[in-house]
Amino acid sequence: MKRIAILVSGRGSNFEAIARNISAGRLDAEIACVLSNQPEAAALETANSLGLNAISLPSKGVDTDVYAEQVCAALAPLNVDLICLAGFMRRVGKPLLDQYAMRILNIHPSLLPSFPGLHVQLQALEYGVKFSGCTVHFVDSGLDTGPIVSQAAVPVLDTDDADTLAARILVEEHRIYSDAIALVLGGSFRIDGRRVVAAP
């Protein structure tokens, strides 16, 4: 059974969706740990209540690469096949990128390459796009720049504010992240330039 580490910073609804899909037999994987850089993250309580290995590893005041080494050390005994960032709001340092090259996924609440970074639902509204959505991508050293595994589009309604748009995008996040994880864990894809192409 392939083992995933889920890295979080807050609420953890994407982590919960992954855990639900595993329990329901829709995703063939095992959660090796849920690691939060925020000790107060609600996701840690949820992980504990589900009997999962919940790790609090505070990142406040820690250099990005030093923190990445700490994460590597925490994950080392857990035999992790894939790291899934799920609302993890820190940059991933080089030691972690090197150790898990092309084995780190992130979910981002916009249609990349539009609106990388933070407060992206507000960015989308203010720009006036008629569609936004979410993206699952491999993590590289850039800001939300790695090869795209999966995307889903969501219409932006005239009545939307950042919260209603975020909520509608989140529904799609919960759907596509597990499918993308299954694809990557299954290994039936190749990377052609920037394109992640599913094997026939």
> How many residues contact ligand GAR, by CB under 6 A?
13
CB of 15 to ligand GAR, least distance (A): 6
146 binds ligand GAR (CB under 6 A): no
Considering the rule CB under 6 A, would residue 147 count as an interface residue with ligand GAR? no
Assess whether the previous peptide bond of 113 is cis (omega < 30° from 0).
Answer: yes
Contacting residue, 2, 4, 12, 150, with ligand GAR by CB under 6 A:
12
Scored b (16 or more CB within 10 A) or e, 15-42 reads bbbbbebbeeeebebebbbbbbbbeebb
- DSSP track, 88-147: --SPPPHHHHHHTTT-EEEEESS-TTSS-SSSHHHHHHHHT-SEEEEEEEE--SSSS-SP
Stretch that binds ligand GAR, among 10-18, 30-38, 65-73, 122-130 (CB under 6 A): 10-18
Q: By CB under 6 A, is residue 173 in contact with ligand GAR?
A: yes
Helix axes 162-186, 120-127, angle to 10 degrees: 120
Asked if residues 88 and 9 have their Cβ atoms less than 8 Å apart, the reply is yes
Q: Rule CB under 6 A: is residue 103 a binding residue for ligand GAR? A: no
For the question of residue 137 being annotated catalytic, the response is no
Q: Does 108 bind ligand GAR (CB under 6 A)?
A: yes
Q: Find the residue with minimal CB distance to ligand GAR.
A: 87
Nearer to ligand GAR, 1 or 49 (CB): 49
Taking CB under 6 A as the criterion, the residue among 55, 68, 107, 156 binding ligand GAR is: 107
Q: For residues 72-101, which are near ligand GAR according to CB under 6 A?
A: 86-87
- Residues near ligand GAR (CB under 6 A) are 8, 10-14, 86-87, 107-109, 170, 173
Residues assigned a catalytic role: 108
